[in-house]
Structure 1
Amino acid sequence: MNLDGDWPLPRPNTRIKFDRRAAGSTLSKTSSIASTFSSLATPVVAEAVQRAKELSTKSDAEGFHQLRIAFRKLRALYWAYSPFLGEETAANATEEFKRLAAVAGGTRDWDIAGDLLKTAQESGASIELLVAAAREKRAQAVVDSQTMIKSDDVEAFLSDVLLRAQITLQSRCSDLPIRAFAKKRVRLAQRMLQKRSRRAAGRETAHEEDLHDVRKAGKKLRYLLEFFQPVLKGGHDRTIKELTSVQNKLGQFNDIAASETLIRSASFNEVPAEVVQESLQWLEKQKCRRMRAASRRVRTMSS
């Protein structure tokens, strides 16, 4: 996959100097919508650029995971500011954030799948060949991620989308205060989460896609609360803590579901089909158990 060819936006002629200071340190209720975006986005972009540089020579799974989180946070931020950025501009940027997050997550996904397969092996499953094959897939995922995520390309792309967003916001909302806007966007994210939670909780049998939608909506709300907490009335630490707890439960289910999908879609030429099938049966059993636990947690939240 050619990273240059996939960019919806051209590279800038100049690079932005990124400041990695804490995002909330310069936010206040009198800040403008435009200046607040810069304060929030710049540290996240700096984090992504630094992670990309480190991962060009390292294969640390946590580093890839943190890079994926940085892109997810940028997606949430661009969604929040999309009324002033413009739906098309925000959509183009967030689509590339999504793609880069998926590329960054390949190594982490195989790490999770490998750990689950080791657990299956410890539980008595005869899948040694598949455990070894998963290690090879993980090594290949590192190479693929490093090939497709070049630090200079990532920095150029992020510099461009950040600069374009800053110029747009300065022209459209440089004098508009942030508090009412932040409150409105957080409320919309809350309603989206409530709607998805009620839909998931209202089914007699849990659906994977519903739980995945709840998980995504919960992440978006949590990121926005973390971003905007300095300018919102009242503390939101308890809500953030609750959302994190729900996300952890949903994440445990997602790890199983994603690993099952990963193994089903991969080819293992040196592994007998019955070995792969044995692992999938074990994963299916664990998935059902974790799905029930995640569904109970979502029902509690929705009520």
Structure 2
Amino acid sequence: MNADPTARLRGKTRPAAAFAALGEAGLQRIEDSLAALFGRDEAEDVHALRVAVRHLRAVLWIFGPLLPRGIAERWKEDLHGLADAAGEVRDWDVFLAETMQPALDRQPGDAVLHAVIDTARARRQIARETMLARLGQYRHDTLPTLHRDLAHLPVHTDDGSDTLGPFARSRVRKARKTLRQRKRRARQDGLRAVHRQRIAGKRLRYAIEALGPVLPEQKAKRLHRKLVKGQGKLGSVVDDSVARRLMAECLDVPPEEQDSAPAAA
């Protein structure tokens, strides 16, 4: 397979064939990330896995209307499980790198900071062991099943009635509409709505990356730049909230008192 499946996409490509190419490449990217995770302990490998899963979830959302319902639901559940398995370790990695390390750089002799960092690293190690146990099952059971799905999908879903160009543009328009709706809700509904807005933005961003060859080039590039910029701002809001929670956990602050706990360092 071409290392870049998007290079094979054309406006007249059948959507099911596009999903097969993008899906196979996405599964390979996940497998490569898993191989790295099981071979070493690096924060960037955890991040790479989650990004790979996000990309494939966006591809699944794009082409979901074409898929048999049972297969679409299984893929949705399995990819959610993959992302969730690495979520706790990723939270600890971001907390250590972006909250605790800058604080330690400013106050290198602070005994409390050192104690919090030691606690965070210990809890991160426990989370990593749990993650690897879960990912081992996905690696050996789930991913082969998804590969088998792809081998049969074009036969079951491609009736020759549509081409990728108009289909791709309609899905991107739908993703933009969803993002606008979630932006409006986020102004009123607080952090959870901000998180949902962030998810919608990522889905649109990765959809543009997957479908780039069949989208209007300049318009797609402008929108992609705006999304990347906006994701950084939203990410900071969500990461700050996670940092407060993890700091409270390291300090053994009871859940009912966490809302009034001091901000993360």
For the superposition of Structure 1 and Structure 2, which TM-score range results when normalised by the shorter chain?
Answer: 0.7 to 0.9
Q: Map Cα deviations across residues 229-278 of structure 1 (whole Å, 9 max, x no partner).
A: 101234311111110110011111111112333444x4x5xx5659x97x
CA distance in structure 1 between the partners assigned to 2:46 and 2:153 by the alignment: 31
Q: Map Cα deviations across residues 154-202 of structure 1 (whole Å, 9 max, x no partner).
A: 254223224324523432225231111111111111100011112223x
DSSP-derived class of the 2:39 partner: coil
Q: Does 1:253 align with 2:237?
A: yes
CA spacing shift, 1:91–1:259, aligned 2, 3 Å? farther
| Matched residue, 1:80 | 62
| Matched residue, 1:282 | 263
Q: 1:50 aligns with which of 32, 50, 55?
A: 32
| Matched residue, 1:207 | 190
DSSP-derived class of the 1:281 partner: coil
Q: CA deviation at 1:120?
A: 4.2
In the TM superposition, what are the counterparts of 1:111-130 in structure 2 within 5 Å? 111-115=93-97, 116-121=99-104, 122=106, 126-130=112-116
DSSP-derived class of the 1:30 partner: coil
In structure 2, stretches of 5+ residues that fail to align are none
Q: Does 1:30 align with 2:16?
A: no
CA distance in structure 2 between the partners assigned to 1:223 and 1:196 by the alignment: 17
The answer (yes or no) to whether the contact 1:34–1:166 under 8 Å persists in 2 is: no
Letter in 2 for 1:167: H
| Aligned length in residues | 257
| Matched residue, 1:225 | 208
CA distance in structure 2 between the partners assigned to 1:20 and 1:139 by the alignment: 37
CA spacing shift, 1:129–1:83, aligned 2, 3 Å? same
CA distance in structure 1 between the partners assigned to 2:93 and 2:185 by the alignment: 32
| Matched residue, 1:10 | none
Task: Give identity over the alignment, percent.
Answer: 27
Structure with the larger helix share:
2
In structure 1, stretches of 5+ residues that fail to align are 1-18, 287-303
DSSP-derived class of the 1:253 partner: helix
The answer (yes or no) to whether the contact 1:85–1:165 under 8 Å persists in 2 is: no
Q: CA deviation at 1:144?
A: 2.0
CA distance in structure 2 between the partners assigned to 1:273 and 1:256 by the alignment: 17
CA spacing shift, 1:280–1:129, aligned 2, 3 Å? farther
Q: 2:53 aligns with which of 71, 82, 88?
A: 71
DSSP-derived class of the 2:262 partner: helix
Which segments of structure 1 move beyond 4 Å, counting only runs of 4 or more? 271-274
TM-score (norm. length: structure 2): 0.86
Further displaced range: 243-252 or 156-165: 156-165
| Matched residue, 1:291 | none
